[in-house]
Structure 1
Amino acid sequence: MGRIWEEHRASVIALGAALIGFMLSAYIVPEEEQVVVIAAGEPVRTVNTPGGKTEAGIYLRIPFYERVARIEKRVLDLDMTDEEVLSNDQQRLLVNAYARFRISDPIRMVERAGTTEGVRIALEPILNSVLRQELGRRTFSAMLTAERGTALANVRDNLNRQARQYGAEVIDVQIKRTDLPDGAPLQSAFQRMETDREREARTIRAQGARDARIIRAEADAQAAKIYADSFGKDPGFYDFYRAMQSYDATFAPENGNASSSIILSPDNEYLRQFRGRR
């Protein structure tokens, strides 16, 4: 009986030791994480890295010799607090930006930055510097146009080149807000923008008036040519037509001639059309 108990107890101990060993060796990799297994301070293998099919599941390591570094597989954010940037037109801007990135090379990330927080700490001053350089080439008004997209694309590309040394890939860079500091600089900028728009409006109106004069002169010249061509075919009719226009302008009631008398000699040249002579 005692011998059976001893054998049973040995089996229980062996099973318990195997269970403890399994618990110390096994680790679970969820879909949203990637893992770097580190042995003696050096990365030796990875699990569930981006770019391939999911490798989520249960894995084993050598207890006390290998350790597991867990790294976020999803897209991460890098926030930039309000920073003053000097634009090309010497305006002080308050810029609030953010970047989105993911860890594409976990081994390099572990070797260069250690953790994802280490990547954030390394990329934050780089984002600040690149943003200052890019916005410093442009005016404040340009950042309110489509040129803003080009500037952000350049910032993203430059930041991505720097981020690769930390095993990261920058997906996007966006500016949440671009403002002038409160106070006199802001009011001065608004007044300058208003003046620029008024100057632009005056230029457009002047160009419109010039074009109108040109069009009117060309139309008058064309009309005169048409009249000359038409009346040149029958000078007598043209003389009669002009005389009728003159009579209408002279004797029309609206010209104040309704109660007035005009005394002319019957042989007056002005009345020749009434006599049937041309």
Structure 2
Amino acid sequence: MQNLWENYRAAIILAALVVIGLMLSIYIVPEEEQAVVLRTGEPVRVVNTVNGTTGAGLYVRVPLIESVRLIDKRLLDLEMTDEEVLSQDQQRLLVNAYARFRIVDPVRMVERAGTTDGVRVALEPILNSVLRQELGRRTFQSMLTAERGSALANVRANLDRQARQYGAEVVDVQIKRTDLPDGAPLQSAFQRMQSDRQREARTIRAQGDRDARIIRAEADASAARIYAESFGKDPDFYDFYRAMQSYNETFRKARDGEEPRGDSNIILSPDNEYLRQFRGRR
């Protein structure tokens, strides 16, 4: 009986050891994470990486010898808040920007940065530096135009080149806000922008007046040529045309309430020579 109990207890202990061994050996890799298996601190294999062939699920390791480091596989954010940047036109700008990155080489990330937070700490000053360099080559006004897109593309390319040494890939860089500091610099910038717009409006208006004068002069020359040709062919038409102009000017003043020749009324005899064109007489 005693031997049976001892055998039963040994079986229980053995089963417990097997369960504990399985618990220490099996690890789970979620879909949104990738894993690096370390043996005595050195990476030996990876699981469920961005460009790898293995996927999420249950995996086995050597207990007590191998450890597993789980690394986020999703896009991660890198924030830059209210950093002061000097533009090409010597404007002090407060810039809020962010970058999105992901870990594409987890082994290098573990060796160079340790964790994703370590990657953030390494990339923050780099983002600050490349953004300062790029905005320092551009004016504040250019950052309000389509040129902003090319500037951000350059920032992303430069930041991505630096991030590769930490096993990260930068997929996007955006500027949330680009503001001038409060106070005199802000008012001075607004006044300068207003003066630039007014100067541009004056230039456009002057060009429009010039073009209008050219068009009007060409039209008057064309009209004069047509009139001259018409008058030369038919002198009676010239007499008729001049009479119509005179009637229009005289009766317009009377119609609009102006006083022709100091009087408020016009009284003419039906047989007056001035009205001969109304009577159809040449």
Q: CA RMSD in A?
A: 2.5
CA gap 1:196/1:19 in 2 versus in 1, 3 angstroms? same
SS at match of 1:82: strand
* Structure 1 residues 53 and 251: alpha-carbon distance in aligned structure 2, compared to 1, 3 A threshold: closer
Matching of residue 173 in structure 1 with residue 197 in structure 2: no
1:240 aligns with 2:246: no
Q: How many Å separate the matches in 2 of 1:69 and 1:91?
A: 46
How many residue pairs get aligned? The number is 265
How far 1:151 sits from its partner (Å)? 0.8
Indicate if the aligned counterparts of 1:109 and 1:168 stay in contact, CA closer than 8 A. Answer: yes
Superposed CA offset, 1:23-49 (max 9, x none): 111111111110000112211100010
More displaced stretch, 84-93 vs 15-24: 15-24
Identity rate of aligned residues, in percent? Answer: 69
Q: Is the 8 A contact 1:31 1:54 kept in 2?
A: no
Provide closer, same or farther for how the CA distance between residues 53 and 248 of structure 1 changes in structure 2, counting only shifts above 3 A: same
* 2:46 matched residue in structure 1: 46
Report the Cα distance in structure 1 between the residues aligned to 2:136 and 2:12, rounded to whole angstroms. Answer: 72
> Structure 2: which amino acid aligns with 1:8?
Y
Structure 1 distance, partners of 2:19, 2:250, is: 126
TM-score (norm: length of structure 2): 0.86
**Deviation at 1:238?**
4.3
Deviation at 1:55, TM superposition (A): 1.4
What are the residue-to-residue correspondences of 1:76-91 with 2, within 5 Å? 76-91=76-91
Give the Cα–Cα distance (whole angstroms) in 2 for the partners of residues 70 and 7 of structure 1: 41
Structure 1 119/248 Cα, relative in aligned 2: closer, same or farther at 3 Å? closer
> Secondary structure of the equivalent of 1:81?
strand
Q: Distance in 1 between the 2:181 and 2:220 partners?
A: 56
Indicate if the aligned counterparts of 1:34 and 1:70 stay in contact, CA closer than 8 A: yes
**Mapped pair 1:133 → 2:137:** no
Q: Please say if residues 29 and 56 of structure 2, whose CA atoms lie closer than 8 Å, have aligned partners that are also in contact.
A: yes
C-alpha displacement of 1:60: 1.2
Q: Give the CA deviation at 1:110.
A: 0.9
Inter-partner Cα distance in structure 2 for 1:207 and 1:251? 36
Give the TM-score normalised by the residue count of structure 1.
Answer: 0.87
Deviation at 1:244, TM superposition (A): 3.6
Displacement, 1:198? 0.9
